[in-house]
A = this chain, B = another copy of it.
């Protein structure tokens, strides 16, 4: 892919001077249309060889466009806060909202290449990383982020000339470092790695544009024109014919399970109970153990994410209270998942959960979670079928990011029987604790019980992974459920901290 960018493309000054004002006006107008239409967010990812002119291109774009509505994001050495979070955290934080353009300098590519060059990743691990990058970029495309990736390239000799030139230029020498010269020396060795990386990550949703960096007029005009084209495509609403085609290209509405996987839920032995005395004894023992584990020094190299889902009135709140009752209240955050704010709505779906991902030594309890997409949003039709179908994979990738960073992820589905739910609803109508107020929605959801059962079964089947398994909790007896939850957390934590 790189050869064509080693040919010495140039654009003459006169041709440039003719093209520039038009491009500039069109770019700013497209930028303003984007802000108004808010159809997508746009990321211009600039990567490439050292001294290819990424920085200059970023600067030129912010001069051409309205810099007030353009953000240039550099991702250098990780700050201590970034280092204490899963790898993708800092990229999630930097995502522009719909209607905005951000330039990402190098971003995840520099990090992956650097890790390979330094030997921290071997070939297989690099490929796994590139695979994760592909999935991440696909997710962005589906979630209304247009990602334009540019590899600014120089041939070996062109790079050498450029470095020497910059070194001579007194006003500019601050930009050439020993590191640059060092990297240049290894050009040949890196060439294959670049080729491989570009090939592996050039996907339909976000192909690479390799742009030769020798001639800055050619470089900047090319990047600018491709960006303009991208903006215009985003700003133009699809015609009915395009919409139809798009729908046709989406994953077919495959009925996720042919076999009757609902059995999984129906076969739960809801008759399991625990007597008072054993409950008190076990509760104290397990809370004590959980308190110990989270106070250990070693917990500072881990974190804990707890996910609570379940049928309405299954006792999620009560279970959460028994868990956090064991914890130092300064260490945990409970996130009750309700309607998203407008800032959350203008970002990809998982953004609002990434905001609460704990740093090392931290604990986040999600009271309902990202699984809303494949539960309530699926059942109620709040999102399209294609959206919840792809959510399973995105969620698995998200949880892998957490686990890779040392997070222990425990996911609980609390199940009660239909009749027990009715009894609890009735009882709640009579008590004065506002926490337990029964709403119209609760009664409505009850009617969709079979749909939810189906959705839960698919969810468990598709997202119960070895690294982040689901625990199905028989919650007909609240005390039994609480003990099972606590015991599972203790076990997973012991196991996770042993690794």
- Chain A residues within CB distance 8 Å of chain B: 25, 28-29, 32-33, 55, 58-59, 62-63, 66-74, 79-81, 103, 105, 171, 174, 288, 295, 317, 320-321, 324-325, 328-330, 333-334, 336, 341-343, 365, 367, 432-435, 437
Contacts and interface: CB of A to CB of B under 8 A. Distances in A.
A25 B433 CA distance: 6
Contacts of A62: 324, 329
Q: Secondary structure at chain A's binding surface: helix, strand, loop or mixed?
A: helix
Contacts of A437: 32
Nearest to A69: B336
B321 A63 contact: yes
22 contacts: A25-B433, A28-B435, A32-B435, A33-B434, A55-B328, A58-B329, A59-B329, A62-B329, A68-B320, A68-B334, A68-B336, A68-B365, A70-B334, A71-B333, A71-B334, A72-B330, A74-B330, A79-B80, A80-B81, A81-B81, A341-B341, A341-B343
Closest 3 CB pairs of A and B: A74-B330, A72-B329, A32-B434
A32 B336 CA distance: 13
Given A28-B435, A336-B69, A341-B341, A325 B63 contact: yes
Given A80-B79, A341-B342, A343-B341, A334 B67 contact: yes
B435 A295 contact: no
Nearest to A332: B72
Contacts of A325: 63
Nearest to A325: B63
A437 B359 CA distance: 45
A365 B68 CA distance: 9
A295 B55 CA distance: 15
A317 B71 contact: no
Contact of A28 (B32, B68, B334, B433): B433
Nearest to A59: B329
Nearest to A316: B68
Contacts of A71: 333-334
